[in-house]
């Protein structure tokens, strides 16, 4: 008897009756191990390998990260520009 722990995109992570973990992808056993963390890593890699849109999402994230950096830089420059006064600087004594 096996207990399913996770399932996604044709990949399953099972806990077998003997306490071992098994990763099954498309009906074939990818990994069978007694180590839970190793089974989880193998499961995540098998799911990622079957994700067609992963590269597209990575490019979109990189694009939005770059936009955030640019807007942050623009905001800092604009704040610095507001600190300078007109003719003669900020004033003061």
pLDDT tens figures, 7-22: 988 899 999 999 999 9
- Residue 67 belongs to what H/E stretch? helix 54-83
User: Distance (Å, rounded) from C-alpha 68 to C-alpha 65?
Assistant: 5
User: Distance (Å, rounded) from C-alpha 7 to C-alpha 47?
Assistant: 9
pTM: 0.59
Strand partners, 25: 11, 28
Q: What pLDDT score was predicted for residue 73?
A: 82
């Amino acid at each position: 008897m096996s207990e399913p722990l996770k399932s996604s995109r044709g990949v399953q992570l099972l806990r077998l009756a003997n306490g071992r973990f098994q990763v099954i992808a498309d009906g074939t056993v990818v990994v069978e191990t007694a180590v839970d963390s190793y089974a989880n890593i193998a499961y995540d890699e098998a799911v990622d390998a079957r994700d067609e849109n992963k590269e597209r999402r990575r490019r979109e994230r990189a694009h939005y990260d770059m936009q955030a950096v640019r807007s942050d830089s623009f905001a800092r420059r604009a704040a610095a520009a507001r600190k300078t006064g007109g003719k003669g600087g900020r004033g003061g004594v």
